[in-house]
Structure 1
């Protein structure tokens, strides 16, 4: 009798493992489905990391049981390694470029308007100034900054001067809107190399989200740099706290859950349109490209997947660990990225956890300009 129960239990675990495999396959399939054509695919894709993690747990379970069923989760890991690698990177290079090669270091950072709106009474000014100085003094050749804020009438927030003019950098600033303090807000590219061409990609007439590009001359080679800020998830810390606190209250939990789902759905659809428009422009580029920015989407999303099908990801190729970039209540989210095309190779990647004054952590990558 005990042997019969053991066999039944093993069959149940096998069936559960098979269901997880189908979950992984469905999640991978949904990565390719445009959310604006079938929005539920966005939620299935969002769940893919959970399926991948549970598959690893099954691997350990079958190993402990010394069962040949271990082949099933092992095959998923081998065949789906590219999806695991999006979530956790394993690179242990020394971060040095080959002698004599041309290199380029790029910093990408959502600066959250340098927390200017938290500075109503001047109490946040020192932290904002520290943040601005950190950016200005970073050794990167190119800065791609989202939610950039510049107020010429302020000694603290005159960031164009403090970052650009003082350090003799070329720049291209696309202003999304001007606030009541007459401060400019938008996205910007600073470069120590000359900007030879530039432009903006608008995602809608009234949409503050956009991308800009600049062709820079790096010692005779032209590289096109994009920085993009895609549609926000529009989920605040309070929304998450409200959902957690509503657990146990069925009516409140359903209300808060529907609110989160509605916002996620809206974001999936908007970013799906935006990334397609961005890729249309990238496909026309006559030069190698580096695409930086705040995607507001995780690696298991249509947005990320569309870019990854065309370009290499600097974190995957040269980073280590989880590489979370969201500095908020939801852990392990990597929503800021740098992608790059042929003609370039990432050899070093850093997430700057030492600078935690924004709701995003800065990321920087070093590239070799490969010889033709």
Structure 2
């Protein structure tokens, strides 16, 4: 029994050190030390591991519980990125409040999984969901197709949209307000893309971005590894190594993409709102680059766990809405509906 406790203590110390190092992930460039990107990605899991050890030792009345408890306390501010403790305002302050949704729809491919009689019924189910939850004034989508856009326009009455298929762009912005100007932020490499639109909100021009940063492309490998019948030592080690190498490449590509977007945002003559799938957690350098000087609507008005990924890697928050600091954030909601491998997120904003 004593030997078993020693093993657990060593594992506890390793987990605590991992969590402690992950606190530095947002400020360490992944180009130099990509391993910190991995620690940032693992941040939600390391919290739960350390909580487990804390409870385990407390139940046994051991002072070892302080190891994880102290490390958790040291990074308390970092938890606001994944756990929301802010209640929304009781009601919209006036009719000038704007609802904004960001949604990686994955070409609406998951609608085929719904047990209804036809694709048409599935699309109607999705349209009903959107209407039921107050249709957003501005909808920023990622991984969309032109048929998706036409469906969203026709079923939800969005008269304005911007998308650049010639640029091989899968992001789009749909709006009930006029679009005065629009364009793309071109990336040198990677599979992500970004479009922007200057939207006229009754005389006030706001620049909106719909962003999809380079994917990690590890979800299929992760799905394979977590299946019990595939857990073989050699396969698992090679699979994990492959995932790390993909993440190493992906996080560096995302950093270059994030720099381009940030530079474009800083040159905007109008206040900015950026929506999208960053493919990285709040405890990442990429999030730090894009969110600096912005309001994260989840941190401002989110409640509960901020998970936005609906796949087999639990606890991941990789979708965001970041608003200009002058904006009043009224609410932030995450809808746990699996029309995609992401959950849609919505915020209500009041522009001063």
Q: Answer whether TM exceeds 0.5 for this pair.
A: yes
Cα distance in 2 for residues equivalent to 1:364 and 1:142:
10
Alpha-carbon distance change, 113 to 61 in structure 1, aligned in 2, over 3 angstroms: closer
Gaps of 5+ in 2: none
**Cα distance, 1:291 vs structure 2:** 0.9
After TM superposition, give the deviation of residue 276 of structure 1 in Å.
1.6
- Answering whether residue 310 of structure 2 is matched by residue 327 of structure 1, we say yes
The structural deviation recorded for 1:351 is: 1.0
Task: Give the TM-score of the pair, scaled to structure 2.
Answer: 0.83
Root-mean-square deviation (Å): 3.6
Match of 1:82 in 2: 77
How far did 1:69 drift? 8.1
More moved, 227-236 vs 74-83: 74-83
Q: CA deviation at 1:322?
A: 1.1
Q: RCO (CA 8 Å, sep 6+): is it higher in 1 or 2?
A: 2
Q: Name which of 291, 300, 316 aligns with 2:299.
A: 316
Q: 1:189 aligns with which of 162, 173, 176?
A: 173
Q: 1:97 aligns with which of 92, 97, 111?
A: 92
Partner of 2:143: 147
Task: Give the Å deviation of 1:57.
Answer: 4.4
Matches for 1:49-128 after TM superposition, within 5 Å: 49-57=44-52, 60=55, 76-98=71-93, 100=94, 102-115=96-109, 124-128=119-123
The aligned length equals: 348
Are positions 1:130 and 2:120 aligned together? no
Out of 170, 178, 182, the residue aligned to residue 160 of structure 2 is 170
Question: Does 2:286 align with 1:291?
Answer: no
> For the residues of structure 1 that align with 2:18 and 2:149, how far apart are their CA atoms?
48
Identify the match of residue 233 of structure 1 among 216, 219, 232.
216
Corresponding residue for residue 25 of structure 2: 30
Helix, strand or coil at the partner of 2:341 = coil
TM normalised by structure 1 equals 0.79
CA distance in 2, matches of 1:272, 1:147: 20
Moved more, 68-77 or 266-275: 68-77
The gaps in structure 1 that reach 5 residues or longer are 1-8, 152-157, 179-184
State whether residues 202 and 209 of structure 1, in contact with CA within 8 Å, keep that contact through their aligned partners in structure 2: no
Structure 2 equivalent of residue 42 of structure 1: 37
Contact persistence 2:333–2:346 (CA under 8 A): yes
- Which region of structure 1 is more displaced relative to structure 2, 309-318 or 109-118? 109-118
Question: After superposition, what is the alpha-carbon deviation per residue over 1:326-358, rounded to whole angstroms, capped at 9, x for unaligned?
Answer: 2222222221111112111212111112x3221
Mean alpha-carbon deviation: is it higher for 187-196 or for 260-269?
A: 260-269
Higher alpha-carbon deviation: 30-39 or 287-296: 30-39
Distance apart, 1:188 and its partner CA? 1.0
Q: What residue number does 1:276 align with?
A: 259
- Look up the SS of the partner of 1:327 in the other structure: coil
Cα displacement string for residues 115-135 of structure 1 (whole angstroms, at most 9, x for unaligned residues): 29969xx95443245335645
- 1:202 pairs with one of 180, 186, 192: 186
Aligned in 2, Cα 1:166/1:250: closer, same or farther, shift over 3 Å? Answer: closer
Q: Distance in 1 between matches of 2:269 and 2:13?
A: 46
Which of 306, 331, 337 aligns to 2:289? It is 306
* 1:263/1:208 CA distance change after superposition, 3 Å: closer
Deviates more, 1:242-251 or 1:58-67: 58-67
Larger radius of gyration: 1
